[in-house]
Amino acid sequence: MSGNNKNDPTTHFGFREVPASAKSGLVGRVFRSVAGRYDLMNDLMSFGVHRLWKRFAASMCGVRAGDKVLDVAGGSGDMTALLAPRVGAVGRVVLSDINEAMLDVGRARLADRGIVGNVDFVRADAERLPFPDDYFDCVTIAFGLRNVTHLDRALGSMFRVLKPGGRLIVLEFSRVTVARLQPLYDAYSFNVLPLLGRMVAGDEASYRYLAESIRRHPDQQTLAGMMGQAGFERVNYYNLSGGIVALHRGYKF
């Protein structure tokens, strides 16, 4: 395989270079493997702090009763669960994910919590969202953007389906901004996370990929620039937990 062959472009899958056409399938395999223990592992890996990050993201969406919201790569439904009460009975949240196993988990979890009636589930590729232009008031993607093959296409697709005046909220792992935190974070990411994956989910390799994928994701300023190139305006970001996670927000005008 060669990245110099224009007919066979490559991209990253963690620290590996793979054919771009293969990444979606490899990521799909990871999430099919971890779907059953996904929420438990999130709690263990983040010590529960991921719930606070997601609550902050929901508060930054600015959605109101009657709004239509798209939760891209919504997986097990955490963001949808926070947004559905905000849009109310006359609003709509569409939880989309490319992975059927994750959609099944999200559908079951939301039903168990009584969140039904104003939520739809759609299997969809973030790079080719199957929705009309100018349709949603808000689009969110939480911890899913780094897994897409072409970030520019995904950002462009999300821009297209937003209404003028709508906003995109991206919650994603980013670059640590506290120097003394970096060695601890690296040791945790590359030693503890794979061990947890092996012990709890029976899958060390998938959690090693997840740690590696964070390091390959654009930093805060680079992602903000990519959002601007996709057409978003007034792009800003907030560092959470010392930059371990960042929330980016941009508007379509």
Q: Between β-strands 162-173 and 245-251, what pairing exists: parallel, antiparallel or unpaired? A: antiparallel
pLDDT at 41 over 80: no
| Percentage of the chain modeled with pLDDT above 90 | 72
Query: What global pTM score does this model have?
Result: 0.89
CA distance 211 to 203: 13
With contact defined as beta carbons under 8 Å apart, do 136 and 163 qualify? Answer: yes
pLDDT at 12 over 90: no
Tokens 């109101």 found at:
64
Class of domain 36-177+210-251: alpha beta
For residue 52, the one-letter residue type is L
pLDDT of amino acid 104: 93
C-alpha distance from residue 139 to each of 136, 151, 152, 159, 250 (Å): 7, 15, 16, 9, 10
pLDDT at 4 over 50: no
With contact defined as beta carbons under 8 Å apart, do 50 and 41 qualify? Answer: no
Give me the residue spans of the domains in the chain.
36-177+210-251
pLDDT at 117 over 80: yes
pLDDT of amino acid 207: 85
Q: For residue range 177-219, list pLDDT tens digits in order.
A: 999 999 999 999 999 988 988 888 788 888 888 889 999 999 9
**Nearest Cα to 125, choosing from 93, 150, 90?**
150
Q: Sorting pLDDT into bands at 50, 70 and 90, what band is 16?
A: confident
